[in-house]
Structure 1
Amino acid sequence: MINFSKLWEILSTRYPVFLQGAGITLQLAMVTVLFGSILGLIVALVRRSHIKPLQWLMNAYIAFIRGTPLLVQTLLMVYGILPSVAGLLGIKMSKLTMCNIALIINSGAYMAEIIRSGIQSIDAGQGEAAATLGLSSGQTLRFVVLPQAVKVALPAMGNEFVAIIKESSIMYAVGVYELTYEANKMASTNFFYIETMLIAAMLYFVLTYAVTTLLSMWERRMRRGDRSI
């Protein structure tokens, strides 16, 4: 049975902690989407190249990421690969940075597939038309194919953003002070686990709903812009 009076008490007295955790969650997601999109674009373009070893390497990367749990990937990165790399380079990495890198590597594989699908959806005739106008293959990709591919891929990229917000909750397992970690820590001291986690769930919903709404508005605006041309 949910104790709503206790839920309100927790929310009204500990909301700064929840907001801090939600801020870290949103930060993780935004950085991941930005750099994951860049990584995904690079991987998608490499897979379109004619260099077989690089194609195989990118295919193996995508297959590994899609075939293993995010938690396992994060544990490998945070407790194995990244500390070793940081030691070799003589630098220090916080757990937040390492978790962000793990999320970026994970998201990059999915973004690569999304971008590849967007590129493949563009009519090949447009590339041929661009070539007749004197555009190089690089210029065709940059000015003709990619702008349209991004529009096609935008809904799927938005879904990936929402997925990252939710999947970032896994980072509590390695001690990053994101929303789930803060809620779990609070619940372990106040012993109102359901009420505390319900507040966390509501905050996740607010974040994902806000992102989804903003992306939908952006898509509609882009469609109106296309029709006005």
Structure 2
Amino acid sequence: MSLDYIISIMKPMLEGAQLTVILFLIAIVASIPLGFLLTLAVRSSFKPLSLFGHGYIYLMRGTPLLLQLLFIVFGLPLIPVIGEYLVLDRFVAACLGFILNYAAYFAEIFRGGLLAIDKGQYEASKVLGLNKFQTTTKVILPQMFRIALPAVANESVTLVKDTALLYAVAVPELLHFAQTAVNRDFTIVPFFIAGILYLAITLSLTLFFKWLERRFNYD
């Protein structure tokens, strides 16, 4: 396969990779705080809120992300009466699906981080005269994020790979352009290039989280 051919397919595939990265950034920035709020809801002493949190997490983790994307893109418009108001741009719908889905996973990660903190930390904070807000923000949350960071990093890498599901709802991301080139030119080279681009994105993300882990552990 000539270098000219590789160069010719790189431009659309890089555009697809750009959309992949944009979706990832939107999803990660929105789903992490939403996941933390869900963790607080699950741990709430207000029973209806706690039940809602548990139910939401079970629903999102118990059904495939692809099914959720298909429902948001194609199912919501079919709801009687209000369906016509729920027609979303496909990229917006995909972002919404990823945010809602990954928030449930991050909620469980943060809940695990909180459970891993020794109860003595709360008692020590009380002895030092810290109020509940100070204990939470200065003692508990920093430890929770440090404990949860490896799992957050792993889930973030998974999120990058899951962006390939956008192909199923006709959003022109990286895999879409690779598949188009394969069908048009009868060669598997575009798949190899797509794989290299995915690896480059995930490697960059992995190095970033490794840097964060070193900061949390040694600073």
The CA deviation at 1:175 is 1.0
Equivalent position of 2:165 in the other structure: 170
1:120 is aligned to 115
Q: How does 1:139-218 map to 2 (within 5 A)?
A: 139-192=134-187, 194-218=188-212
* Counterpart residue number, 2:97: 102
1:24-79 CA-to-partner distances (Å, cap 9, x unmatched) read 11111111111110111000011111111221211111111121111101111112
Q: TM-score, normalised by structure 2?
A: 0.91
**Cα distance, 1:83 vs. partner?**
8.1
Equivalences for residues 47-86 of structure 1 within 5 A? 47-81=42-76
Q: How does 1:11-30 map to 2 (within 5 A)?
A: 11-30=6-25
CA distance in 2, matches of 1:35, 1:89: 26
Q: Residue 38 of structure 1: which of 19, 33, 50 is its match?
A: 33
From the superposition, tell whether residues 81 and 129 of structure 1 become closer, same or farther in structure 2 (CA, over 3 Å): farther
RMSD value, Cα: 2.1
1:13 Cα deviation after fit: 1.5
Q: Secondary structure at the match of 2:203?
A: helix
Distance 2:83 2:127 in 1: 50
Matched positions, count? 218
Q: Structure 1: where are the runs of 5+ without partners?
A: none
Q: Deviations over 1:117-158 (max 9, x none)?
A: 111111111112222333332332122101111111111111
Alpha carbons of structure 1 residues 150 and 83: separation in structure 2 relative to 1, 3 Å: farther
Question: Could you say which residue in structure 1 is the equivalent of 2:217?
Answer: 223
Residue pair 2:17, 2:173 contacting (<8 A) in 1 also: yes
**TM-score normalised by L of structure 1:** 0.87
Matched AA of 1:218: L
Percent identity among equivalent residues?
Answer: 35
Q: Which moved more, 1:215-224 or 1:13-22?
A: 215-224
Q: Distance in 2 between matches of 1:61 and 1:144?
A: 28
